[in-house]
Amino acid sequence: MAEVVRTKQEICERVAAARAGGKAIGFVPTMGALHAGHRKLIERSVSENDFTVLSIFVNPTQFGPAEDFDRYPRHLEADVAAAGQAGADLVFAPTAEEMYAADHSTWIDEEKVSEGMCGARRPGHFRGVATVCAKFFNVVRPDRAYFGQKDYQQLRIIERMVRDLDIPVEIRPVETVRGGDGLAVSSRNDYLSPDERQASLAIWRALKQAAALVGGGERSTRAVSDAVRSEIVRDGRLRVEYIEIVDAQTLEPIVPLEGRMVIAVAVYCNHTRLIDNLVVECPKAD
Amino acid sequence: MAEVVRTKQEICERVAAARAGGKAIGFVPTMGALHAGHRKLIERSVSENDFTVLSIFVNPTQFGPAEDFDRYPRHLEADVAAAGQAGADLVFAPTAEEMYAADHSTWIDEEKVSEGMCGARRPGHFRGVATVCAKFFNVVRPDRAYFGQKDYQQLRIIERMVRDLDIPVEIRPVETVRGGDGLAVSSRNDYLSPDERQASLAIWRALKQAAALVGGGERSTRAVSDAVRSEIVRDGRLRVEYIEIVDAQTLEPIVPLEGRMVIAVAVYCNHTRLIDNLVVECPKAD
């Protein structure tokens, strides 16, 4: 079991002591419900730092009013055990009251990278994410922080924020972890029935087919996007929220396809929202 | 002469070296055009810290399109000399390109304390101020930062931001410095002709009269506000932008008057915009 601290002051002091001992600090921010993806983030941090802090905080400000804040999975004890097994030194699990003053009124908005994809469909989501991450960075003051590529837009927004606000932390992306069936590991997969999970495998199939299309020379954004859509909706159990093919760094749309791009999708399976993406490299035309 | 550094990396390294030597770091952010008010900030920092950094940066993002960014006074050499005389150890004078990436897209918004007063009249102003201050705090990483009470709303917004984002810096307010004639010292006083300066003295007279009114038992916000207005407009050369009487901490309007309040005004003398304020304590009614 990793040790758990509950207050900003305590985490700040504990990390300061580690830092004073010459230790490099790694940080893995999570909303708990730890899975193999988080485990990989922790292991990466442990391999690159001397002291790893994991935060567990279901951040209310990044959920919309109609979203799943209330039913988001919470099981702190299991999470703390899993964090310790993966090598985390300390778990920071604050309450919402510890993190936000009742009259909290300061927000961080990234306004470009967050324009499309999830940013367009979840108003206020990335404002909440950026704000809570900046707060965590200021409290923990890590040397490096670890983010999964599965939440691709989040990763790019955090990188942009860190650059724009000169936050002294290095953001380290970590590859998406998939189940044996290909489904990207996510805490929200807990919501899926076995049948729904089976249906959701079309997402990864569609992304791989799209990569093959681009690899085969297809340069039409529309054609690739249509192919992804038809694979996802084929058996009728998934509904597409968006399919976007965008520059892998700026997340701006690219037409026709060239350079390093990400094919990103958000899909509903009944009430469960799933996102996934695949980065594809496509040689520039001469 | 204080030494001048131009890049974020260099200031970061120089301050890190001072910090490693056990020195407490004080920070005074300015737009240059140093005057007695800035001198007081520097002296306060020098008295409370071992190493004082002064920034000189006319921050483009806090000026509106119709404001005085282009004609804002700039005289770096004299400023560096003045900073050194007042005891600053290091001057950080970056270019706009050093401070902002061409595709900068991350902003900090304080949304409560900034609602009224200058925030209501200068859209985007405090967004620019908050963002650049957060950047400076992240680059310099001072123990304490010094802000004049003359820019009262700015001070309260920065305090709120630091609290809300958990920025590890202590904000230290410093009293307004006034000329022998009572006019609050400001870089924008440079714009005033002798005649305009004479006219502008009505601001401080009006604030003192208001304090006397409150001290004498007046509890009507409207009555005090009207008295301030009539003194300011009396000789016809000043135009009131706002007169607000608000809670000294939250900057929310207070009716009737009780507790700790600030009487804050913005006034135009021809094209020159002047602000001033006075904090007044008024015992709570039984």
DSSP string, chain B: --EEE-SHHHHHHHHHHHHHTT--EEEEEE-S---HHHHHHHHHHHHH-SEEEEEE---GGGS-TTSSTTTS---HHHHHHHHHHHT-SEEE---HHHHS-TT--EEEEE-STTSSHHHHHSTTHHHHHHHHHHHHHHHH--SEEEEETTSHHHHHHHHHHHHHTT-S-EEEEEPPPB-TTSPBP-GGGGG--HHHHHHHHHHHHHHHHHHHHHHTT---HHHHHHHHHHHHHTTSSEEEEEEEEEETTT--B-SS--EEEEEEEEEEETTEEEEEEEEEEEPPP-
- Over residues A257-265, the mean pLDDT reads 96
Question: Quick check: A35 contacting B, CB < 8 Å?
Answer: no
CATH number where B249 lies: 3.30.1300.10
Q: Which of A8, A100, A162, A165 to mutate to test the interface with B (most CBs of B within 10 A)?
A: A165
Quickly state the pLDDT bin for B286 (edges 50, 70, 90): low
Q: How confident is the model at residue A153 (pLDDT cuts 50, 70, 90)?
A: very high
Contact A150, A184 (CB under 8 A): yes
Has this prediction a pTM greater than 0.90?
yes
Q: Distance (Å, rounded) from C-alpha A170 to C-alpha A145?
A: 6
Of B174, B199, B218, the one marking the end of a domain is B174
Q: Distance of alpha carbon B29 from its chain centroid, rounded?
A: 10
CA distance B214 to chain A (A): 29
For helices A152-164 and A125-140, the axis angle rounded to 10 degrees is 60
pLDDT digits (tens, 9 = 90+) for B103-140: 999 999 999 999 999 999 999 999 999 999 999 999 99
pLDDT at A175: 97
- A86-144 pLDDT, tens digit per residue, is 999 999 999 999 999 999 999 999 999 999 999 999 999 999 999 999 999 999 999 99
Q: Is residue A180 included in any domain, yes or no?
A: no
CB B278 within 8 A of CB B210: yes
Tell which of A144, A174, A204 closes a domain. A174
Q: Give yes or no: residues B165 and B210 share one domain.
A: no
Shortest distance between the Cα of B131 and any Cα of chain A, in A, equals 7
| Confidence at B255, pLDDT banded by 50, 70, 90 | confident
Domain assignment of residue A216, yes or no: yes
Find the closest chain B residue to A130 by CA distance. B106
Share of chain A above pLDDT 70, in %: 99
**A113–B contact, CB cutoff 8 A:** yes
Residues B73 and B125 in one domain: yes
Average pLDDT over residues B36-51: 98
Last residue of a domain, one of B174, B209, B241: B174
Q: Is residue A154 part of a domain?
A: yes
Is B209's pLDDT higher than 70? yes
- Does the beta-carbon distance from A134 to B103 stay under 8 Å? no
Mean pLDDT score of chain A, rounded to an integer?
96
- The answer to whether residues A10 and A123 belong to one domain is yes
B103 interaction partners in chain A (CB closer than 8 Å): 112, 250
Residue B14 lies in a domain: yes
Please report whether residue B283 resides in a domain: no
The residue-averaged pLDDT of A31-43 equals 97
Count of structural domains, chain A: 2
Report pLDDT for B19.
Answer: 96
Which of B104, B106, B153 to mutate: most A Cβ within 10 Å?
B106
Average pLDDT of the segment spanning B178-200: 96
A77 interfaces chain B, CB cutoff of 8 Å: no
Q: Are residues B129 and B154 in the same domain?
A: yes
Q: Are residues A166 and A209 in the same domain?
A: no
Q: Give helix A76-86 / helix A36-48 axis angle, nearest 10°.
A: 40
**Domain range for residue B226?**
187-277
Judgement on whether residues A196 and A240 belong to the same structural domain of the protein: yes
Domain for residue B285, yes or no? Answer: no
> Within a domain: residue A46?
yes
Q: Quickly state the pLDDT bin for A27 (edges 50, 70, 90).
A: very high
Nearest to A161 among B106, B110, B163 (CB): B106
d(CA A188, CA A276): 12
Say what the pLDDT of residue A286 is: 57
Distance of residue B26 Cα from the nearest chain A Cα, in angstroms:
18
- For B254, phi and psi rounded to 5 degrees? -125, 120
Which of A48-52, A109-113, A142-146, A282-286 is predicted with the least confidence, judged by mean pLDDT? A282-286
Contact status, residue B280 vs residue B211, Cβ threshold 8 Å: yes
Would you say residue A253 has pLDDT above 80? yes
Q: How confident is the model at residue A191, as a pLDDT?
A: 93
Q: Which of A103, A108, A131 sits opposite B112 (nearest CB)?
A: A103
Answer whether A165 touches B (CB < 8 Å): yes
Taking an 8 Å cut-off on Cβ atoms, the answer to whether A111 and B112 are in contact is: no
| A116 and A26 fall within a common domain | yes
Residues A41 and A130 placed together within one structural domain of the fold = yes
Q: Which positions in chain B touch A105 (Cβ < 8 Å)?
A: 110-113, 160, 164
CB contact at 8 A, A53 and A146: no
pLDDT bin (cut points 50, 70, 90) of residue B283 is confident
Q: Which of B55, B166, B247, B251 should one mutate to test binding to chain A, selecting the residue with the greatest count of A CBs within 10 A?
A: B166
Mutation to test the A interface, candidates B59, B98, B105, B110, most A Cβ within 10 Å = B105
Tokens 């940013």 sit on residue: A119
Q: How high does pLDDT run on average in chain B?
A: 96
Residue A2 binned pLDDT confidence (cut-offs 50, 70, 90): confident
Pairing state between β A259-269 and A238-247: antiparallel
Q: Is the pLDDT of residue A16 over 60?
A: yes
**Quick one: B140 and B239 in the same domain?**
no
Contact between chains at B164 and A106 (C-beta distance less than 8 A): yes
Determine whether the interchain pair B106/A110 forms a contact, defined as Cβ–Cβ distance below 8 Å: yes
Per-residue pLDDT band for B282 (boundaries 50, 70, 90) equals confident
- CB of B97 within 8 Å of a chain A CB? The answer is no
Q: What is the pLDDT of residue A81?
A: 97
Same domain, B134 and B203: no
B163·A101 Cβ contact <8 A: yes
- B1 has pLDDT over 80: no
Shared-domain flag, residues A151 and A196? no
Contact of B134 with chain A, judged by CB distance below 8 Å, is answered with: yes
CATH number for A101: 3.40.50.620
Q: What is the pLDDT, as a whole number, of residue A283?
A: 76
Q: How many CB pairs under 8 A join A and B?
A: 80
Segment B165-180 shows an average pLDDT of: 98
Catalytic residue, chosen from A38, A75, A125, A271, is A38
Residue of A nearest to B110 (CA): A106
Judge if A25 and A123 occupy the same domain.
yes
Residue A86 lies in a domain: yes
Residue linked to tokens 């990390």: A15
Catalytic residue check, B38:
yes
B163 contact A CB<8A: yes
**What pLDDT is attached to residue B56?**
98
- Bridge partners (DSSP) of residue A109 are B107
pLDDT of A285: 60
Taking an 8 Å cut-off on Cβ atoms, the answer to whether A108 and B107 are in contact is yes
